[in-house]
C-alpha cells in the first residue's frame, strides 16, 4: 500500500498513513486488492478520523470483488466508482505483436490474455482511495508520472498535477480507457490472422472453437465498455448535483471535471465502435467463408455434371452396340469398331468444346 500527499506543486510519498489529514492538499491511498483486504480495519479507522465517515460494508465488498462490473454509487460522505480496465495481460502483448506470422496457439493466448479486472475508487473530499489488481500498473505509472511533474526542473511544473481527488480519479480512468489502444492492435492482429485462415486456398479451416472464443471475447469487451459508459454517465449526473460553488475557481474546476468526464465517454464510444467493427468484420468473414465454400462446391458439381453429360451419349453408344443381337449394323464389319470409335471420339470432343465455350468447364481469359 502506497500513500501520497498532493498539495499545490508538491507530490510526496508518505511512509505510512498519517494520524491526521495534512493542512492542505489531499491524500491518495493506492492499495492492491489483497492489501486492502488485510488493512481494511485500519483504513476504516483512519477514514473515520479524517473525514467523519467510513466505507459501508457493501462498498467494501464491491472493492474486494474481482468480478464486479463497472458501476457508480454515491453516499453522503463519498462517491464510489468501480471501473473495469481493458488491457492485455502483463508480459503478453509485446510477444504477440512481435511475431511475424500469427499461429492458432498465439491467437488463443491473445484472447485468453485480455484483462478486464476492476479498479475501485472511493472518492472523498480530500482523500482518494484506489483499490487495484495485484499486477495493475496504473498506480505505479501515476505515482512515477506525478513525481516527475512535481520536480522543480520539469518545464510543466506542478500546474500539471491533479487539482483534487476527482481530477486524479478521472485522469486514471482516462488512462485505463486509452490503454485499450495496445489491446486494440493485439486483437486486430489476431482477428486478421483468423480471417486469413478462413480464406486460405483450399479451405480446411478447423479452428471454429477459437473463432467462437474470439467472438465471445468481443462480446465481453462490448459489455464491459457499455458498463463503463453507464458508470461515467451516472458520475456526471452526480457531478451535476454537487452544491454550486460561489468562487470562480471552484466553478471552473467543476466545469473542467465535466469536460474531462465527457471526453472519457467519447473515448469509450471509440472503443465500442472499434469492438463492434471487429465483431462485424468477423461475422462478415464467416459469411464470406461459407459463400466461398458454396461457390467452390457449385464449381465442383458443375464440372461433375458436365462430365456426366459428356459421357452419357458415349455410354448410350457402347450400351447400344453391347446388345446381344446378330443383326446389329457394323457388328460383323472389320472396320465397324473404328467407325464407332471415331464417332464416339468426335462426339466427346464436340461436347467438350461446346461446354467449354459455354464456360461450364472453366472461364475463358
pLDDT digits (tens, 9 = 90+) for 26-51: 999 999 999 999 999 999 999 999 98
> Which residues share a beta bridge with 13?
4
pLDDT tens per residue, range 151-177: 765 554 444 788 889 999 999 998 888
pLDDT in the model for residue 250? 72
Highest mean pLDDT (candidates 110-119, 120-129, 133-142): 120-129
The mean pLDDT of the chain is 81
Q: Map out the domains of the chain with their CATH numbers.
A: 2-293 (3.30.460.20), 298-357 (1.20.58.340)
Helix, strand, coil share (%) of the chain residues, nearest 5:
60, 10, 30
How many whole angstroms separate alpha carbon 122 and alpha carbon 111?
31
Share of the chain above pLDDT 90, in %: 16
pLDDT in the model for residue 363? 54
pLDDT in the model for residue 107? 52
pLDDT in the model for residue 154? 52
Burial of 185 (0-12, 13-18, 19+ CB in 10 A): middle
Q: Which three cell numbers stand for residue 161?
A: 498535477
Which pairing describes strands 26-32 and 127-132: parallel, antiparallel, or unpaired?
parallel
pLDDT in the model for residue 88? 62
Cβ atoms of 79 and 71 closer than 8 Å:
no
Share of the chain above pLDDT 70, in %: 86
Cβ atoms of 228 and 72 closer than 8 Å:
no
Amino acid at each position: 500500500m502506497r500513500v501520497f500527499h498532493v498539495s499545490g506543486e508538491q507530490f510526496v510519498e508518505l511512509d505510512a498513513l498519517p494520524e491526521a489529514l495534512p493542512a492542505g492538499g489531499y491524500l491518495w491511498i493506492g492499495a492492491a486488492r489483497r492489501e486492502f483486504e488485510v488493512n481494511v480495519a485500519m483504513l476504516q479507522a483512519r477514514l473515520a478520523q479524517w473525514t467523519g465517515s467510513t466505507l459501508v460494508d457493501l462498498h467494501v465488498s464491491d472493492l474486494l470483488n474481482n468480478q464486479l462490473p463497472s458501476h457508480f454509487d454515491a453516499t453522503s460522505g463519498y462517491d464510489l466508482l468501480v471501473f473495469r480496465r481493458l488491457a492485455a495481460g502483463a508480459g503478453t502483448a509485446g510477444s504477440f505483436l512481435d511475431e511475424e506470422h500469427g499461429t492458432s496457439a498465439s491467437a488463443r493466448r491473445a484472447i485468453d490474455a485480455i484483462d478486464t479486472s476492476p479498479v475501485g475508487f472511493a472518492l472523498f473530499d480530500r482523500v482518494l482511495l484506489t483499490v487495484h489488481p495485484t499486477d495493475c500498473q496504473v498506480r505505479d505509472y501515476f505515482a512515477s508520472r506525478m513525481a516527475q511533474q512535481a520536480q522543480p526542473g520539469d518545464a510543466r511544473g506542478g500546474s500539471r498535477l491533479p487539482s483534487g481527488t476527482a481530477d486524479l480519479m478521472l485522469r486514471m480512468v482516462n488512462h485505463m480507457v486509452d490503454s485499450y489502444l495496445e489491446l486494440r492492435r493485439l486483437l486486430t492482429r489476431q482477428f486478421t490472422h483468423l480471417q486469413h485462415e478462413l480464406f486460405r486456398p483450399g479451405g480446411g479451416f478447423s479452428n471454429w472453437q477459437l473463432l467462437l472464443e474470439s467472438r465471445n471475447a468481443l462480446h465481453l469487451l462490448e459489455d464491459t465498455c457499455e458498463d463503463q459508459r453507464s458508470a461515467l454517465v451516472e458520475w456526471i449526473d452526480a457531478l451535476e448535483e454537487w452544491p454550486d460553488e460561489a468562487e470562480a475557481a471552484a466553478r471552473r474546476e467543476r466545469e473542467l471535471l465535466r469536460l474531462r468526464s465527457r471526453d472519457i465517454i467519447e473515448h469509450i464510444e471509440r472503443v465500442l465502435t472499434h469492438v463492434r467493427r471487429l465483431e462485424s468484420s468477423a461475422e462478415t468473414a464467416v459469411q464470406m467463408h461459407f459463400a466461398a465454400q458454396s461457390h467452390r462446391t457449385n464449381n465442383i458439381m458443375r464440372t461433375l455434371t458436365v462430365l456426366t453429360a459428356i459421357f452419357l451419349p458415349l455410354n448410350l453408344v457402347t450400351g447400344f452396340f453391347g446388345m446381344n443381337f446378330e443383326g446389329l449394323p457394323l457388328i460383323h464389319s472389320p472396320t465397324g469398331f473404328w467407325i464407332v470409335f471415331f464417332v464416339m471420339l468426335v462426339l466427346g470432343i464436340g461436347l467438350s468444346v461446346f461446354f467449354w465455350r459455354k464456360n461450364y468447364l472453366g472461364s475463358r481469359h
